[in-house]
């Protein structure tokens, strides 16, 4: 598949880095994972957007927007008032990276044609690959679903034990 210098779908950003194509989460999805990890470090605590911005270094308006989106997605619970704020809606071990990404960006899809409608694709109507994307998208979603917030708050080396060949048994995300 030929990918131009930059191509963005809702879920990922494709870019060339030293001659190789890399797949990255959108900035908002990345920030959402950081925000949720900050909350997961103190389960049961309530946080204001300003406090999470202070903890993470993400601008406060972005944090406020993300926390509202994550609350609407059922990952954070919100309460108003003097003792109000946001807190995790479930324990960190029950929230996956896939859920966070989907709350912010919608369904995980590597291409714009992965859904029921094609957008901006010159190959619509004669693409032999379109039907093969669903299992690839499912594999990527599965990899992200295998990583929980509980794992993200552990030191990177402790998050996933290596197999005998030195490779992690599932994806490891570091701070």
Residue 170 counted as domain residue = no
Question: Per mean pLDDT, which of 77-81, 145-149, 163-167 is the most reliable?
Answer: 145-149
Q: What is the DSSP track for 25-90?
A: E-HHHHHHHHHHHHHHTSTT--B-HHHHHHHH---HHHHHHHHHHHHHTTSEEEE-STT-EEEESS
User: What tens digit of pLDDT does each residue of 14-50 get?
Assistant: 556 666 767 788 899 999 999 999 999 998 899 999 9
Separation CA 87–CA 77 (nearest Å): 5
Q: Which two tokens stand for residue 25?
A: 């989460």
What is the domain count for the chain? 2
Do residue 85 and residue 106 come from a single domain?
no
Position with higher pLDDT, 159 vs 100: 100
* Domain boundaries, position 101: 6-27+96-155
List the Cα angle 150/151/156 in 5-degree steps: 140
Do residue 74 and residue 102 come from a single domain?
no
Separation CA 45–CA 33 (nearest Å): 17
pLDDT(107) > 60: yes
Position with higher pLDDT, 81 vs 101: 101
Separation CA 26–CA 105 (nearest Å): 8
Do residue 86 and residue 104 come from a single domain?
no
The pLDDT value given to residue 15: 58
Chain-centroid distance of CA 166 in Å reads 26
pLDDT band, residue 164 (cuts 50/70/90)? low
Residue 103 counted as domain residue = yes
Going by DSSP bridges, is the β-strand pair 12-17/20-25 parallel, antiparallel, or unpaired? Answer: antiparallel
The pLDDT value given to residue 143: 92
Separation CA 78–CA 32 (nearest Å): 16
| Average pLDDT for 122-142 | 82
The pLDDT value given to residue 21: 65
Q: Quick one: which of 91, 107, 90, 87 has its CA closest to 39?
A: 87
pLDDT(70) > 50: yes
- The model carries a pTM of 0.77
């Amino acid at each position: 598949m030929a990918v131009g210098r930059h191509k963005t779908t809702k879920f990922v950003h494709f870019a060339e880095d030293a001659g190789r194509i890399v797949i990255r989460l959108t900035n908002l999805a990345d920030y959402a994972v950081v925000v949720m990890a900050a909350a997961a470090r103190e389960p049961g605590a309530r946080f204001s957007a300003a406090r999470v911005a202070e903890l993470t270094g993400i601008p406060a308006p972005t944090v406020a927007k993300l926390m509202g989106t994550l609350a609407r997605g059922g990952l954070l619970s919100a309460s108003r008032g003097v003792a109000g704020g946001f807190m995790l809606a479930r324990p960190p071990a029950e929230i996956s990276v896939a859920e966070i990404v989907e709350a912010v960006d919608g369904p995980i899809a590597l291409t714009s044609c992965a859904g029921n409608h094609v957008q901006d694709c010159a190959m619509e109507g004669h693409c032999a690959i379109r039907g093969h994307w669903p299992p690839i998208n499912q594999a990527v979603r599965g990899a992200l679903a295998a990583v929980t917030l509980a794992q993200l708050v552990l030191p990177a080396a402790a998050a996933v034990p290596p197999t005998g060949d030195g490779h992690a048994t599932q994806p490891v995300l570091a701070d």
